Amino acid sequence: MINGVLGSGLQGVQQGIIGMDTAARKIVSAGVESEAGTPTGRTDAPGSVAESLIDLKLYERNVQASSQVVKTANEMVGTLLDTSA
């Protein structure tokens, strides 16, 4: 049971980091300029940078929550080991 909780927490951290990376890349690509100094970023939607910033914050919260799950599972293992010793 604890292994399942720990695995879920770790999976959540990994997915959050991947999501943060994707959102950060979108933010960076929106402001990239070519060597000639002209913008080469996305122009598909004016709110795309704002949406990416929101996504970045959501994924950050996801990682925080998942890391708390991992921390709690670790504490449970420690308590079980202390109890059985």
Residue 4 lies inside a defined structural domain of this protein: no
What's residue 53's pLDDT? Answer: 95
Confidence of residue 69 (pLDDT cuts 50, 70, 90): very high
Tens of pLDDT, residue by residue over 11-53, are 999 999 999 999 999 999 887 765 666 655 555 555 789 999 9
Residue 8 lies inside a defined structural domain of this protein: no
Least confident of 2-6, 16-20, 30-34, 78-82: 30-34
User: Which domain covers residue 26, as residue numbers?
Assistant: 13-32+42-84
Residue 65 lies inside a defined structural domain of this protein: yes
Q: Which contiguous run of DSSP H or E holds residue 15?
A: helix 2-30
Residue 47 lies inside a defined structural domain of this protein: yes
Confidence of residue 83 (pLDDT cuts 50, 70, 90): confident
Work out whether the CA dihedral 7, 16, 19, 47 comes out positive or negative. positive
How many domains are contained in the chain?
1
Residue 51 lies inside a defined structural domain of this protein: yes
